[in-house]
């Protein structure tokens, strides 16, 4: 009838999925760590960046949409139900679509803040950039000068950088 060798691991997996805080969608579990209190580094988020959304949507140049997708796939599944987020993508994946809401989330996580352009060699930063009428989010690697996002608006007057 059923092979017991296969049933036990399946039952354990189903029990684990019912625990609070567990990613319910298969694509949100892919990169989630197994250790307690898992919090990915900003470098891990940068490596998860793909300029697309797991929901298949490719909203034109939506920095928050694609960056929040990378944060969630890297393990920040709290973004899926954060009270700081009021507007989400229409593709069904629940990704953030407003840079200002990503800013609020960055601020809630932040342990270190820097205003202005970053000093070389200071690592990865979640960055909010703004000029009149425009807002943008990205991840900056101050070690290499590389950005992970749709752009690096380095000439915009507001440059707020966060690390945690």
d(CA 91, CA 58): 9
For the chain, the domains span 4-163
* pLDDT of the residue at 9: 57
In the sheet that 146-148 helps form, which strands lie side by side, from edge to edge?
Answer: 112-115, 158-163, 124-131, 134-141, 146-148
* pLDDT of the residue at 6: 55
Q: Show Cβ contacts of residue 86 under 8 Å, excluding neighbours closer than 6 positions.
A: 98, 101
* pLDDT of the residue at 114: 98
157 in helix, strand or coil?
coil
Given CATH 3.90.1720, say whether it is the number of domain 4-163: yes
User: pLDDT tens, position by position, for the chain (164 residues)?
Assistant: 555 565 555 555 544 444 444 343 444 444 444 445 679 999 999 999 998 888 776 666 689 999 999 999 999 999 999 999 998 887 778 888 999 999 999 999 999 999 999 999 999 999 999 999 999 999 999 999 999 999 999 999 999 999 99
pTM of the complete model: 0.76
| Cβ atoms of 96 and 88 closer than 8 Å | yes
112-115 and 158-163 beta bridge pairing: antiparallel
* pLDDT of the residue at 15: 46
């Amino acid at each position: 009838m059923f092979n017991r060798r296969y049933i036990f691991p399946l039952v354990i997996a189903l029990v684990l999925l019912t625990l609070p805080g567990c990613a319910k969608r298969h694509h949100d579990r892919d990169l989630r760590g197994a250790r307690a209190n898992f919090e990915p580094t900003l470098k891990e988020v940068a490596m998860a960046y793909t300029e697309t959304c797991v929901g298949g949507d490719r909203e034109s140049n939506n920095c928050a949409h694609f960056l929040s997708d990378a944060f969630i796939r890297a393990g920040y599944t709290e973004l899926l139900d954060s009270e700081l987020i009021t507007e989400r993508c229409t593709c069904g994946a629940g990704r953030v679509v407003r840079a200002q809401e990503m800013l609020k989330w960055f601020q809630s996580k932040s342990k270190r803040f820097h205003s202005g352009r970053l000093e070389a060699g200071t690592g990865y930063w979640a960055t909010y950039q703004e000029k009149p009428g425009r807002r943008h989010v990205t991840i900056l690697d101050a070690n290499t000068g590389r950005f992970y996002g749709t752009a690096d608006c380095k000439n915009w007057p507001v440059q707020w950088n966060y690390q945690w």
